């Protein structure tokens, strides 16, 4: 495969946990993978062992809630590769709290990262995919976003993921005829910093469907 034909992926929130495992698995099948990390130094440290192992991983600072940061990574991808074939919207936060008495500022931040972040990244990169007639967008959701399994203890998180599921349906309908497929998935309860050490699923199991 020539460099011009090599597929390019971007994974947000990818310096640890499920995101980092997805970066590894996509790179292992021959993709160039941009590792998006809100903290640039953490992204560099996460990418180091993968690059040392011969994988084509490019760390880049990405705060999905920051318009300028999204614009910078979009410019980087266009400049370096001229294409993006795969977008994995993984970055998320998981605040605690019921809906009554909730800290609305925290809820807004949750939506900025968990919903508007994926939306903005999709707006930035979907035109590149449409132009080439191919693209895969995966929005990482949660069982907390299912209307049949409500959890008041993480209300802002669940609401943001329910909205992400609906956004996925809307985008899939809009982009499907152009060769760009948009899906959402739930990795389950995974042993990560977010999921905790008692979670029953490994990061490999959580990343499997995404990859």
The long-range contacts involving 3-6, CB below 8 angstroms and separated by at least 24 positions, are 6/30, 6/31, 6/32, 6/56
Q: Name which of 36, 95, 170 is nearest 46 in CA terms.
A: 36
Determine which one of 94, 134, 157, 198 is catalytic.
157
Give the pairing of strands 57-61 and 86-89.
Answer: unpaired
Q: Is 94 among the residues known to form the active site?
A: no
Question: CA 111 to CA 95: how far, in whole Å?
Answer: 11
Contact 83, 61 (CB under 8 A): no
Q: Enumerate the active-site residues.
A: 157
């Amino acid at each position: 495969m020539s460099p011009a034909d090599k597929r390019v992926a971007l994974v947000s929130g990818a310096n640890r946990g499920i995101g980092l495992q997805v970066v590894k698995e996509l790179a292992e099948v021959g993709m160039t993978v941009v590792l998006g990390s809100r903290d640039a130094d953490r992204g560099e440290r996460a990418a180091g062992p993968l690059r040392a192992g011969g994988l084509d991983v490019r760390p880049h600072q990405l705060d999905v809630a920051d318009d300028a940061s999204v614009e910078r990574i979009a410019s980087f991808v266009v400049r370096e590769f001229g294409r993006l074939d795969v977008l994995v919207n993984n970055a998320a936060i998981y605040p605690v709290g019921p809906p009554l008495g909730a800290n609305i500022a925290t809820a807004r931040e949750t939506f900025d990262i968990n919903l508007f972040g994926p939306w903005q990244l999709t707006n930035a990169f979907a035109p590149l995919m449409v132009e080439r007639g191919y693209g895969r967008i995966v929005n990482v959701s949660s069982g907390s976003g299912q209307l049949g399994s409500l959890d008041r203890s993480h209300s802002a998180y669940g609401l943001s993921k329910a909205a992400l599921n609906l956004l996925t349906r809307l985008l899939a309908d809009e982009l499907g005829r152009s060769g760009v497929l948009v899906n959402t998935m739930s990795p389950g309860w995974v042993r990560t910093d977010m999921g905790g050490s008692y979670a029953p699923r490994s990061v490999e199991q959580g990343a499997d469907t995404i990859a």
